[in-house]
Amino acid sequence: MVQSVVEGVGQVAENGSPTMEDVQEAASSGDEAGHEDDPKGCPCGHGPDLNGGMASLAWLTFRGLEAGLSDDGGDPEGPSEPTHRDLKHVKECVEHLIEAHKERLEISPGIYLDRKEARGYLIARHVGLGLLPSAQLAHDVGIQLATQLAQAEKDARKAAAAARKKAGRAGAPPGPGGPREKAAEAAADAVWTRPASLASLPKDYVAPPRPARRKRKRAQPTTPTTDESDAQRPVEDLQPEDRCTLKFGDIEVEADTFEEAGAIATAELESRYVRDKAARAAERARWEQEQEEAQAKQAEIDERLRAEDYRVAYNAGWKACASKAERMIYDQRNMYDGICYAHHSLMRAYERALRKADIDPNEVVESESEAEVDDTV
Tell me the pLDDT tens digit for each residue of 64-92. Answer: 877 777 776 666 676 788 999 999 999 99
**pLDDT one-digit tens code per residue, 327-346:** 888 888 888 888 888 888 88
Q: What is the mean pLDDT of residues 297-309?
A: 91
Any domain includes 18: yes
Residue 219, amino acid: A
Which of 75, 74, 71, 113 is CA-nearest to residue 94?
Answer: 113
Is the model's pLDDT at 193 over the cut of 90?
Answer: yes
Give 192's pLDDT tier (boundaries 50, 70, 90): very high
Q: Are 86 and 148 in contact (CB under 8 A)?
A: no
- Based on the fold, state whether residues 141 and 54 are members of the same structural domain: yes
Strand pairing category for 111-112 and 251-255: unpaired
- Is residue 21 over pLDDT 60? no
pLDDT attached to residue 25: 44
pLDDT over 50 (residue 33)? no
Please tell me the number of Cα atoms within 13 Å of 213 on its side-chain side.
13
Tell whether 272 and 134 lie within a shared domain: no
Which domain, by its residues, includes 137?
A: 6-192
Same domain? For 58 and 149 the reply is yes
Kindly state whether residue 81 falls inside one of the protein's structural domains.
Answer: yes
CA 119 to CA 125: how far, in whole Å? Answer: 10
pTM for this one?
0.48
The per-residue pLDDT for 370 is 52
**What residue type is assigned to position 186 of the chain?**
A
Q: What is the amino acid identity at position 212?
A: A
Rounded to the nearest 10 degrees, the angle between the axes of helix 52-61 and helix 115-127 is 110
- For residue 150, is pLDDT > 90? yes
Question: Is pLDDT at 190 greater than 90 in this prediction?
Answer: yes
What pLDDT was estimated at residue 27? 39
- Contact criterion met (CB below 8 Å) for 32 and 68: no
- d(Cα 100, Cα 115) in Å, to the nearest integer? 14
For residue 10, name the pLDDT band (cuts at 50, 70, 90): very low
Instruction: Tell me whether residue 10 is in a domain.
Output: yes
Give me the chain's average pLDDT, please.
Answer: 75
pLDDT at 198: 85
Indicate whether 372 belongs to any domain: no
pLDDT of residue 294: 92
Q: What is the mean pLDDT of residues 299-310?
A: 90
pLDDT band for 364, please (50, 70, 90 cuts): low
Burial status of residue 201 (CB atoms within 10 A of its CB: 0-12, 13-18, 19 or more): buried
Q: Is the per-residue pLDDT at 101 higher than 80?
A: yes
Supply the pLDDT for residue 159: 93
Residue 39 reports pLDDT greater than 60: no
Distance between CA atoms of residues 300 and 297, nearest Å = 5
Answer yes or no: is pLDDT of 371 > 50.
yes
Report yes or no on 115 lying in a domain. yes
| 284 and 163 share one domain | no
Position 317 scores a pLDDT of 85
Domain assignment of residue 111, yes or no = yes
CA angle, 140 then 154 then 52, to 5° = 65
pLDDT at 151 over 90: yes
Tally of residues, the chain? 377
**Per the domain annotation, does 243 fall within a domain?**
yes
Same domain (yes/no): 248, 333: yes
For 346-365, what is the mean pLDDT?
Answer: 80
Q: Are residues 125 and 67 in the same domain?
A: yes
Q: Where are the alpha helices (DSSP H) in 170-257?
A: 179-192
**Which residue, of 132, 161, 192, is where some domain finishes?**
192
- Residue 50's pLDDT is 84
- Say yes or no: 149 and 244 in one domain: no
182 CB-contact burial (10 Å; exposed 0-12 / middle 13-18 / buried 19+): middle
One domain for residues 96 and 243: no
Domain match, 150 and 296 both:
no
- 130 in the same domain as 20: yes
Burial letters 22-36, b for 16+ CB under 10 A, else e:
bbbebbeebeeebee
How far apart are alpha carbons 242 and 255 in whole angstroms?
10
Beta bridge partners of 254: 245
Q: How many CB atoms lie within 10 A of CB 76?
A: 7
Task: Return the closest-CA partner of residue 95 out of 47, 147, 48, 130.
Answer: 47
**Which of 197, 93, 112 minimizes the C-alpha distance to 147?**
197
Question: Region 193-211: what's the mean pLDDT?
Answer: 72
- How far apart are alpha carbons 149 and 159 in whole angstroms? 15
| Burial state string for 47-64 with b = 16 or more CB within 10 A and e = fewer than 16 | beebbbbbbbbbbbbbbe
Same domain, 136 and 20: yes
201: in domain: no
- Other beta carbons within 10 angstroms of residue 3's beta carbon come to 24
The more confident residue out of 32 and 172 is 172
User: What residues are paired with 248 via a beta bridge?
Assistant: 251
Number of structural domains found in the chain: 2
Q: Say if residue 95's pLDDT is above 80.
A: yes
What one-character DSSP code corresponds to residue 32? T
Task: Mark whether 148 and 278 lie in a shared domain.
Answer: no
Q: Tell whether the model's pLDDT for residue 18 goes beyond 50.
A: no
